[in-house]
Structure 1
Amino acid sequence: MGVPAVVPVWLLWYIAVNGPLADLGWTRREPTENDGMLLWLVIAVPVVTAFALLWWLANDFVRRRNTAAARVYWPACTLVTLVPTFALMILG
């Protein structure tokens, strides 16, 4: 689920950079982004929700068949899911 996670992570980052982080002065808004954030939320909410649901269902199924403790399993799954996104950020 790491490779498909690139899309929802990018959507969340784009919204954060052009929304609250830009309002705080930590980033600059995209100069051509003048449609407002509602359009991005209409796109991002279904994509992120569908990914999170699929990710949780897949990992819950594997977790039941695994002997690892839940306090180790879930953080490890989260980190492994984010590895392709971080690799693309570093290499890109």
Structure 2
Amino acid sequence: MWKWRLTAAGMNVLLGVPGVVPVWLIWYYLSNGPLADAGWTSREPTENDGMQLWLVIVVFVVAVFGVIWWLANDWARRRTALAPHVYWTAGALLTLVPTGVLVAGSV
């Protein structure tokens, strides 16, 4: 049983590598759209095409990544003995590890 736990953990970390793209797109949209409107961030000075196109791109990329992530984790969860809420929480956090490493390394 521990073999499947390690497999699921490794799979989520590996899924986090391409998962950097949806996280970045969400941040880019929020920082140039609603957060800039609220005065919490400043807009990208060269971003003058509007945010509607970015919203379409963000929704599509996040939806595709979400479906792939969910299907892979649904398959792996059935092979582990972990409770569902523990598995899904750990899977989501492990998927964010590569993004956290890149953010920490950029400081």
Asked if TM exceeds 0.5, the reply is yes
Range of TM-score over shorter length: over 0.9
Whether 2:27 is the aligned partner of 1:13: answer yes
Stretches of structure 2 that go unaligned for 5 or more consecutive residues are 1-14
Q: Give 1:46 deviation, angstroms.
A: 1.2
SS of the counterpart of 2:46? coil
Cα distance in 2 for partners of 1:48, 1:31 equals 25
Q: TM-score, with normalisation over the residues of structure 2?
A: 0.83
Could you give the per-residue CA deviations for residues 57-88 of structure 1, whole angstroms, max 9, x where no partner exists?
Answer: 00000001110001111110000000100110
Whether 2:70 is the aligned partner of 1:47: answer no
Stretches of structure 1 that go unaligned for 5 or more consecutive residues are none
Match of 2:75 among 61, 70, 92: 61
The number of equivalent residue pairs is 92
Q: TM-score, with normalisation over the residues of structure 1?
A: 0.96
Could you give the per-residue CA deviations for residues 8-52 of structure 1, whole angstroms, max 9, x where no partner exists?
Answer: 000000001001111111100101111001111122111110000
Cα distance in 2 for partners of 1:91, 1:3 equals 15
Match of 2:96 among 61, 73, 82: 82
Q: Higher mean Cα deviation, 10-19 or 37-46?
A: 37-46
Match of 2:43 among 18, 26, 29: 29
Answer with 1 or 2: which has the greater Rg: 2
Cα distance in 2 for partners of 1:62, 1:77 equals 10
Q: Which runs of 4+ in 1 moved over 2 A?
A: none
What is the Cα-based RMSD across aligned positions, in Å? 0.7
Residue identity opposite 2:50 in structure 1: G
Q: Higher mean Cα deviation, 34-43 or 11-20?
A: 34-43
